Amino acid sequence: MKAAADLRAAKKTAIGFDPQRVKRDFPIFANNPGLVFLDSAASAQKPAAVIDRVSDFYRTDYANVHRGVYRLSAASSEQYENARARVARFLNAAHESEIIFVRGATEGINLVVQSWGAAFLKPGDEVLITELEHHANIVPWQLLRDRIGFTLKVAPIDATGGLDLAKLEALITPKTKMVAVTHLANATGAMVPVESIAKMAHAKGAKFLVDGCQAAPRMKVDVRAIDCDFYAFSGHKTYGPTGIGVLYGKRELLQAMPPWQAGGDMILNVTFEKTTFQDPPARFEAGTPDISGAIGLATALDYIEHLGLDAVEAHEAALTEYGIAKMAPLPGVRLVPAGQRRFGILSFAVDGIHPHDVASILDQHKVAVRAGHHCAQPLMDKLDLAATTRASFGVYNDEGDIDALVAAIKAAQKMFAD
Amino acid sequence: MESRELYQDIILDHGRKPRNFHGMEHPSHFAHGHNPLCGDRVTVFLEIEDDKIKDVSFEGRGCAISTASASLMTEVLKGKTLAEAEKLFKAFHAEVTGGEVPAVDEKLQDDFDRLAPLEGVKAYPTRVKCATLAWHAFEAALKNGATGATVKTE
Cβ <8 Å between A356 and B127: yes
Q: Does residue A178 surpass a pLDDT of 80?
A: yes
* Closest of A339, A351, A323, A342 to residue A417, by C-alpha: A351
Lowest mean pLDDT among A61-65, A202-206, A210-214, A393-397: A61-65
Of B4, B39, B65, the CB nearest to A387: B39
Query: Last residue of some domain: A305, A325, A343?
Result: A305
B106-114 and B64-77 helices, crossing angle to 10°: 160
pLDDT digits (tens, 9 = 90+) for A6-16: 545 445 444 56
- Nearest-CA distance from A134 to chain B in Å? 15
- Which chain A residues contact residue B126 at CB under 8 A? 356
What domains are defined for chain B?
Answer: 3-145 (3.90.1010.10)
Q: Does residue A5 surpass a pLDDT of 90?
A: no
- Nearest-CA distance from B39 to chain A in Å? 6
pLDDT of A9 reads 47
pLDDT of A186 reads 97
Cβ <8 Å between B39 and A415: no
pLDDT of A185 reads 98
pLDDT of B2 reads 55
Cβ <8 Å between B64 and A372: no
Q: What CATH number does the domain containing A368 carry?
A: 3.90.1150.10
In a domain, A39, yes or no: no
Query: What's the CA gap between A288 and A100, in Å, rounded?
Result: 13
Q: Does residue A162 surpass a pLDDT of 50?
A: yes
Contacts of A352 (CB under 8 A, 6+ apart): A332, A416
pLDDT of A10 reads 45
- Residue B154: pLDDT band (50, 70, 90) is low
In the predicted model, what is the mean pLDDT of residues B75-93?
Answer: 96
- Residue B6: pLDDT band (50, 70, 90) is confident
- Residue B148: pLDDT band (50, 70, 90) is confident
pLDDT of A1 reads 45
In the predicted model, what is the mean pLDDT of residues A326-342?
Answer: 96
Give the rounded distance of the alpha carbon of B143 from its chain centre.
16
Q: Tell me, yes or no, whether A318 and A411 share the same domain.
A: yes
Structural domains of chain A, count: 2
- Nearest-CA distance from B52 to chain A in Å? 34
- Which chain A residues contact residue B1 at CB under 8 A? 364
As to burial, measured by CB atoms within 10 angstroms (0-12 exposed, 13-18 middle, 19+ buried), residue A87 is buried
Nearest chain A alpha carbon to B121: A360
- Residue A66: pLDDT band (50, 70, 90) is confident
Lowest mean pLDDT among A170-179, A215-224, A271-280: A271-280
Q: Tell me, yes or no, whether A97 and A235 share the same domain.
A: yes
**Segment of A103-112, A376-385, B127-136 carrying the highest mean pLDDT:** A103-112
Q: Tell me, yes or no, whether A254 and A162 share the same domain.
A: yes
Cβ <8 Å between A353 and B16: no
pLDDT digits (tens, 9 = 90+) for B11-58: 999 999 999 999 999 999 999 999 887 778 999 999 999 999 999 999
Q: Tell me, yes or no, whether A282 and A406 share the same domain.
A: no
Q: Tell me, yes or no, whether A180 and A287 share the same domain.
A: yes
- Which chain B residues contact residue A364 at CB under 8 A? 1-3, 6
In a domain, A46, yes or no: no
CB contacts under 8 A, B 25-54 vs A, are: 37-40
pTM for this predicted structure: 0.92
- Nearest-CA distance from A406 to chain B in Å? 17
Task: Catalogue the active-site residues of A.
Answer: 375
* Closest of B69, B41, B73 to residue B57, by C-alpha: B73
pLDDT of A356 reads 92
- Nearest-CA distance from A337 to chain B in Å? 20
Nearest chain B alpha carbon to A385: B39
pLDDT of B36 reads 80
Where helices occur in A92-138 by DSSP H, the ranges are 105-111, 118-120
Residue A290: domain span: 51-305
Mean pLDDT of chain A: 94
Q: Tell me, yes or no, whether A9 and A84 share the same domain.
A: no
Taking the Cβ of residue B17 and every Cβ of chain A, the question of whether any pair is shorter than 8 Å is answered with no
In the predicted model, what is the mean pLDDT of residues A299-305?
Answer: 97
CB contacts under 8 A, B 113-152 vs A, are: 124, 126-127, 130
In a domain, A40, yes or no: no
Q: Does residue B94 surpass a pLDDT of 80?
A: yes
- Which chain B residues contact residue A411 at CB under 8 A? 3
SS3 call for B151? strand
Q: Tell me, yes or no, whether A55 and A24 share the same domain.
A: no
- Which chain B residues contact residue A353 at CB under 8 A? 64
Cβ <8 Å between A360 and B40: no
Of A372, A380, A418, the CB nearest to B37: A372
Percentage of the residues of chain A whose pLDDT score is greater than 70: 96
Residues A175, A180, A181, A183, CA torsion sign: positive
CB B71 within 8 A of CB B18: yes
Q: Tell me, yes or no, whether A106 and A208 share the same domain.
A: yes
Q: Does residue A32 surpass a pLDDT of 60?
A: yes
Query: Last residue of some domain: A283, A305, A327?
Result: A305
- Which chain B residues contact residue A360 at CB under 8 A? 3, 6-7, 124, 127
pLDDT digits (tens, 9 = 90+) for A99-152: 999 999 999 999 999 999 999 999 999 999 999 999 999 999 999 999 999 999
Cβ <8 Å between B12 and A355: no
Query: What's the CA gap between A247 and A72, in Å, rounded?
Result: 27
Q: Tell me, yes or no, whether A236 and A333 share the same domain.
A: no
Cβ <8 Å between A360 and B127: yes
pLDDT of A92 reads 98
Q: Tell me, yes or no, whether A182 and A300 share the same domain.
A: yes
Query: Last residue of some domain: A305, A320, A344?
Result: A305
Q: What is the ipTM of this complex?
A: 0.87
